[in-house]
A and B are shown apart, each in its own frame.
Chain A
Amino acid sequence: MDDITLCIGGEAGQGLDTMGQLLAKSLIRSGYEILVSQNYMSRIRGGHNTFSIRTCTSPLLGPGDEIHILAAFTQESIDLHQDQLAKRHLILTSEELGSKNTLDALLPVPFQQLTDQKILHNVAALGCLCGILGLLPDIGAGVVRSAFGSKDQDLAQKNLDAFHNGLNWVRERIEDAWHLPSVSPPESGSRLMLAASQAVALGAMSAGVNFCSFYPMTPATGVALNLAAHDQELGCVVEQAEDELSAVNMAVGASFAGAVPIVPTSGGGFALMGEGISLAGMTETPVTLVLAQRPGPATGLPTRTEQSDLELALYSGHGEFPRAVMAPGTPEECFYLTRKAVDLAQRYQTPTIVLTDQFLADSYRAVPAFDLHNLSPVAQPDTSAFPQDYVRFASTASGVSPRALPGYGPALVVADSDEHTQEGHITESGEVRTGMVDKRRRKEDGLRQETAAPEYSGPDSPDVLLLCWGSSKGAVMEAARICSESGMRVGTLHFSQVWPLDPAQFEDRLRQAGLVVAVESNAGAQFAALIRRQTGFAVQASILRYDGRPLSASYILPRLNPLIKEQTNGHEQ
């Protein structure tokens, strides 16, 4: 069977995340595609969490909603997911829970027999799932060994035993009906398992980022943790600041002195950073921020997903200054667009922002290993010695001034948050002010010329064009594919950069479509509004989700079909 969605459900603290990650990695090392959606509550233990893996042989697009295999570690996870089970399904659970339930497709596992330690139940269950899916035992065992082997040989052996016991137990009881189509395992190391937090961190590392200041906030913290895990080899300073105000100001200071900084945060933290972002704009200091969106306002739904901070990213900070805002749709785009954001920040000496969200931050996928030798170069701070008569904010045609670093030569570097002269000193002159505003605005023209074009797929002049940005890419493309398979003419236009926009790149697509539908994870159709402000084009309809859950094809389709019907009927008349 191809295209299976597995859902691992249980309480926080039961090791579901570890188990899910090991299974996902086993699938990737076996050669399958995966897409993980994580669902967790804002608590440390208990509650109900899920780790869902959709897997198949061809590239996956969006999260799956029907569950084929449910690995349920609590009664709640059986009860809550019964309605989502596919027609043909399997519920793997423990003996105790099995005895309480009368469902047909129940597979009660005697975990106590498989391992004498409760903390290894998850690894025994991993063995069961690898057996059910028909993965090569060596691959699963290799993943377990690499996860536990480095810590303690005895511990690694116990985990391996639990894994093999689970695998063998299930093989004797389940025939191969659930096996995935066989594929040949890829070359070792050729595929990575990455979620946005990791891909952003890797992109940052590859771009020469060597400073990260942050204040912990879900779902952004992963970026800092991934950098901290390698800080000494990378030569990167990672500092947990006392608050978000400090985090962004520290990054501005570090950048002023020649570091290449990144500042990960989420909506509430980003809101606090507004003034510091404005400071980076005024002092023309490169800084890259990662805004991992989650539902607001205020604390909102802290562990769930939304795309409602687009306007915060666009308008954060007071006054007017140039910026670039990226909105990657996949972990792979996270890598390249974080690199690009760092590069643009350095070259235009201004803040840049990478917008992710909880769904993307926690959504592992299989990504081909990056060819680090053939990446386009990223600008780094100029460490040459500038002369004594150097002025920091020299007026240039591009608006970008030569940037010296303090301590690298006779040049003295002067920066000010007040409006300043070309020398960097405070001024209240109206004429100088106008000149400086114009200088900073000129940088926006350069930035616009480097805007990543939106990605279009579908027929020319489609009946319906689905407009999307950021992480909803996969769900939207899958919905379009399903529509196209039933003969409808549907196209998708995905924006991976949302500011600045260059209407010449996409305006024709909008005007040539019969109906343009914005698909966004927010209540205000924020991107559609931005398109209208930039082009005057009014998107005619929208499909919006703001219940904190990620967009999926099965959410989009029932809302899209009536719109398509209306549209195609209109055609026939």
Chain B
Amino acid sequence: MVTSSDFGQFETAWCPGCGNHAILKAVKEALAGMDKQPRDVCLVSGIGQAAKTPHYMLCNLFNGLHGRALPVATGIKLANPGLDVIAESGDGCMYGEGGNHFLAAVRRNINLTLLVHNNQIYGLTKGQASPTTATGQTTKAQPHGAYSAPFAPLSTALSLGAGFVARGFSGMTEHLVSLIQTAVRHPGFALVDILQPCVSFNKVNTHSWYKERCTELDDSHDAGDWEAAMRLSMQWGETIPVGILYQNTDRGPFEGHFPQLEPGPLADNSPSLTTLESIMQTYA
């Protein structure tokens, strides 16, 4: 029986009150609750405060470059589909620097879980606008307010045919645990966009701001209804819907298209000399 403590306890470099603490706790609880062994899990992150999460867990991890968590995670999953691969990083890393990889990962439908710590600000570089910062919000780098429209991760993912689209809130940890578990079980690309406060640099989207607005989706929402999911994904204001907006398993996972992966991880594959010989002869 795996427990949350099997995934380790570390001192973190995060600010007191930061939403990252609750997300880390939820990830550990979600995995332990599913009886996942740390050796079978691989966390992949990019750069930023959220990207440090894997370092505060006992499991396999690859903490790579800014924006590049998804390509690395894709490579890991293709090399060894037996690993539970979770890409975890912030909104700047995943939606800004890694925007093209986000689009491609949704389109591929590679079987991995993407957890985005979305605090609508750049924390590590001390408070510039992020791709999800609201238009008009002022920061030191955008003293006249951010001019760009905020990136809408959920509707973007839905428009690209994503099979699993969910929103969580770091202040609703128990709910978040179940979202993460459903995402990990989903056979394909699963996005959980997690709203969280940045206590140091985002003075607008505070813990209480989210708490007043985040409303759990109830049973009246049919997660198989794409149009309803699209409407909910656009809802942002007095009420912000939290939960599984959409789930559909019609598309098989990307790695399932490669018969060469059926025998097992690539590290166990090597072609026979007879195969090589016959390939070489196609050049004769």
Contact = CB atoms under 8 A, between A and B. Distances in A.
Contacts of B276: 205-206, 372
Given A205-B276, A426-B52, A407 B265 contact: yes
A279 interface: yes
Contacts of A254: 75-76, 78-79, 266
B104 interface: yes
B58 interface: yes
Interface string A391-424: 0000000000000011111111111111000001
A279 B271 CA distance: 29
Contact of B83 (A232, A241, A373, A407): A407
A167 B260 CA distance: 44
B68 A234 contact: no
A112 B59 CA distance: 71
Contact of A372 (B60, B77, B280): B280
Interface string B271-284: 10101111111111
A321 to B, nearest CB: 14
Interface stretch (B20-28, B37-45, B139-147, B190-198): B37-45
Interface stretch (A174-182, A185-193, A431-439, A476-484): A185-193
A3 interface: no
Given A192-B283, A417-B64, A257 B79 contact: yes
B256 interface: no
B259 to A, nearest CB: 6
A251 interface: yes
B55 interface: yes
B240 interface: no
A258 B265 contact: yes
Contacts of A327: none
Interface in A255-278: 255-261, 275-276
B75 A194 contact: no
A239 interface: yes
Interface stretch (A87-95, A242-250, A524-532): A242-250
Nearest to A418: B63
A346 B104 CA distance: 29
Contacts of A243: 100
A413 B59 CA distance: 8
B38 A210 contact: no
A415 B266 CA distance: 20
A33 to B, nearest CB: 16
A325 B47 CA distance: 29
Contacts of B82: 407
A211 interface: yes
B260 A257 contact: no
Contacts of A211: 75, 78-79, 266
Contacts of A411: 39
Most buried by A among B40, B44, B76, B103: B76
Given A194-B283, A250-B72, A407-B265, A259 B55 contact: no
B76 A234 contact: no
Nearest to A191: B284
Given A246-B71, A372-B273, A373-B273, A259 B64 contact: no
A166 interface: no
B74 interface: yes
Contacts of B83: 257, 406-407
A245 B68 contact: yes
Contacts of A190: 284
A249 B75 contact: yes
A13 interface: no
B75 A250 contact: yes
A283 interface: yes
A202 B270 contact: no
Interface string B173-217: 000000000000000000000000000000000000000000000
B63 A235 contact: no
B284 A412 contact: no
A370 B271 CA distance: 16
Given A235-B260, A406-B42, A253 B79 contact: yes
Contacts of A389: none
B164 to A, nearest CB: 20
Nearest to B276: A372
A425 interface: yes
Most buried by A among B267, B273, B278, B280: B267
A213 B75 CA distance: 9
A377 B103 CA distance: 40
B232 interface: no
A63 interface: no
Contact of A253 (B71, B263, B278): B71
A380 interface: yes
Contact of B71 (A193, A194, A245): A245
A230 B277 CA distance: 12
B284 A417 contact: no
Given A189-B281, A249-B71, A426-B52, A205 B40 contact: no
Contacts of A417: 47, 63-65
Given A253-B71, A259-B267, A407-B265, A369 B62 contact: no
A245 B280 CA distance: 31
A414 B283 contact: no
Given A188-B284, A208-B270, A233-B271, A242 B52 contact: no
Contact of A369 (B64, B76, B269, B284): B284
Given A234-B279, A242-B101, A255-B75, A416 B270 contact: no
Contact of A249 (B52, B72, B77, B284): B72
Interface in A455-488: none
Nearest to A420: B63
Contact of B270 (A235, A257, A276, A410): A235
A308 interface: no
A254 B278 CA distance: 27
B70 to A, nearest CB: 8
A276 B62 contact: no
A514 B64 CA distance: 51
Contacts of B280: 192, 202, 369-370, 372
Given A250-B74, A254-B266, A407-B83, A241 B271 contact: no
A252 interface: yes
A120 interface: no
A198 B277 CA distance: 14
A249 B64 contact: yes
A166 B131 CA distance: 65
A246 B101 contact: yes
Contacts of B101: 242, 245-246
A250 B70 CA distance: 8
B71 A250 contact: yes
Contacts of A194: 283
Contact of A409 (B39, B259, B260): B39
Contacts of A383: 267-268
A410 B269 CA distance: 21
A249 B265 contact: no
B80 A258 contact: yes
A253 B284 contact: no
* Nearest 7 A/B pairs, CB to CB: A253-B75, A258-B267, A253-B72, A254-B75, A406-B60, A257-B79, A249-B71
Interface of A: 188-194, 198, 202, 205-206, 208, 210-211, 213, 230-237, 239, 241-243, 245-247, 249-261, 275-276, 279, 283, 369-370, 372-373, 380-381, 383, 405-418, 424-426
10 contacts: A192-B283, A202-B283, A237-B261, A252-B75, A254-B76, A255-B75, A257-B80, A260-B266, A414-B60, A425-B55
